[in-house]
């Protein structure tokens, strides 16, 4: 007996058993009659038994052949299942599960939706949860699986990847400029309507770097919501800070003191060290890194 490893031999065997002749088997399989005959000869030689006898009615299966039919049909069914799985686009291999992402109010509202849409299109079996806050301890408390942060995570047990620096600047709507003009110096800002924080000055001080004298009294419109500050700028309520890439999307926004004031925020991704190899977390982490890097590139001055 010789080793048998060609599924096509068993496929031809079943076709002959079911059709009763080489010619009928050839028509059913799309192969030629000589090929079917060669397959039967190879199978008989490999098994060391006769599988068919000739008669006026055609080819009749021997007892040995009849005994092989159930096993051959089982292999046929398994092969058909494999083909169905492959044609389904590898759905059984798609990463699936729930991944919770933590991000700041601005990033979660303006930056992540198109990035997450691209990831969803590629990995539809992943359920995405998004929580918006500026805390840095949510990963350690297991409130999230992945965090997008504007400072470098330093806690033990986390893996972090630096994405780059997000450029920011001061902007005003064209309607505001038409009404009040633009300041030509930093000191002249005090005569303008400036948008800024109310009670929480953490975000403002983290980017000011001494370029702008930050105090609550500077602002004539005060809110601790970063999103509310952006919408106020877009409404023409005053001058305020925002990410350059966001401002570029709105042609009605004009840069203010761009040659004197420019900020940067570092962007980091972090995840639990013991979860970084989880398939859904890994593909979300890599997809976010790719999308955020493009966002930063689009916002370069």
pLDDT in tens, the chain (301 residues): 445 567 788 889 999 999 999 999 888 888 899 999 999 998 888 888 999 998 877 889 999 999 989 888 888 888 777 776 666 555 556 788 889 999 999 999 999 999 999 999 999 989 999 988 766 556 656 678 899 988 887 777 788 899 999 989 999 999 999 999 999 998 898 899 999 888 766 655 555 555 566 777 888 899 989 999 999 999 999 999 999 989 999 999 999 998 888 888 889 998 888 777 788 999 999 999 999 999 888 777 5
Question: What would the two tokens of residue 184 be?
Answer: 């030509």
Structural domain includes residue 263 = yes
Same domain? For 145 and 223 the reply is: yes
Structural domain includes residue 176 = yes
Structural domain includes residue 1 = no
Neighbours of 205 (CB within 10 A): 10
Same domain? For 176 and 29 the reply is: no
Neighbours of 59 (CB within 10 A): 20
**CATH code assigned at 72:** 1.10.10.10
Same domain? For 11 and 116 the reply is: no
What's the burial of 43, exposed, middle or buried (CB within 10 Å: 0-12/13-18/19+)?
buried
Domain boundary among 22, 56, 87: 87
Q: Give the pLDDT of residue 261.
A: 82
Domain boundary among 28, 57, 87: 87
Same domain? For 104 and 83 the reply is: no
Q: Give the pLDDT of residue 1.
A: 42
Same domain? For 118 and 223 the reply is: yes
Same domain? For 115 and 217 the reply is: yes
Structural domain includes residue 2 = no
The structural domain count of the chain equals 2
Domain boundary among 56, 87, 118: 87
Same domain? For 36 and 154 the reply is: no
> Hey, is 96 helix, strand or coil?
coil
Structural domain includes residue 249 = yes
Q: CB within 8 A of 162, min separation 6: which ones?
A: 152, 266, 267, 268
Element (H, E) at 266: strand 263-272
Same domain? For 18 and 130 the reply is: no
Domain that holds residue 103: 94-301
Q: Do 33 and 26 contact (CB within 8 A), yes or no? A: yes
**CATH code assigned at 106:** 3.40.190.290
DSSP letters of 169-216?
Answer: EEEEEHHHHHHH---SSSGGGGGS-BEE-SS--HHHHHHHTTSS---G
What's the burial of 274, exposed, middle or buried (CB within 10 Å: 0-12/13-18/19+)?
exposed
Backbone angles phi, psi at 186, to 5 degrees: -65, -40
Same domain? For 258 and 135 the reply is: yes
Structural domain includes residue 66 = yes
Q: Give the pLDDT of residue 5.
A: 64
Same domain? For 220 and 239 the reply is: yes
Same domain? For 173 and 122 the reply is: yes
Same domain? For 28 and 151 the reply is: no
């Amino acid at each position: 007996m010789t080793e048998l490893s060609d599924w096509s031999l068993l496929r031809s065997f079943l076709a002959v058993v079911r059709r009763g002749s080489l010619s009928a088997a050839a028509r059913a399989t799309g192969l030629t009659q000589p090929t079917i005959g060669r397959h039967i000869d190879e199978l008989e030689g490999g098994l060391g038994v006769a599988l068919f006898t000739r008669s006026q009615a055609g080819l009749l299966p021997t007892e040995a052949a009849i005994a092989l039919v159930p096993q051959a049909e089982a292999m046929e069914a398994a092969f058909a299942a494999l083909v169905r799985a492959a044609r389904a686009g590898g759905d059984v291999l798609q990463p699936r599960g729930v991944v919770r992402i933590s991000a700041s109010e601005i990033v979660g509202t303006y930056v992540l939706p198109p990035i997450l849409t691209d990831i969803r299109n590629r990995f539809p079996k992943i359920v995405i949860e998004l929580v918006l806050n500026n805390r840095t301890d949510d990963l350690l408390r297991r409130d999230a699986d992945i965090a997008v942060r504007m400072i470098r995570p330093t806690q033990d047990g986390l893996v972090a990847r630096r994405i780059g620096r997000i450029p920011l600047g001061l902007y005003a709507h064209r309607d505001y400029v038409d009404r009040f003009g633009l300041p030509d110096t930093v000191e002249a800002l005090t005569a303008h309507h400036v948008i800024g924080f109310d009670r929480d000055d953490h975000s403002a001080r983290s980017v000011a770097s001494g370029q702008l004298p930050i105090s609550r009294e500077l602002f004539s419109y005060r809110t601790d919501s970063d999103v509310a500050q952006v919408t106020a700028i877009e409404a023409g309520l005053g001058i305020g800070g925002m990410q350059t890439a966001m401002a570029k999307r709105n042609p009605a926004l004009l840069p203010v003191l761009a040659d004197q004031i420019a900020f940067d925020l570092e962007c980091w991704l972090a995840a639990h060290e013991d979860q970084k190899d989880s398939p859904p977390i890994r593909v979300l982490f890599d997809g976010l890194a790719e999308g955020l890097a493009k966002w930063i590139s689009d916002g370069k001055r």
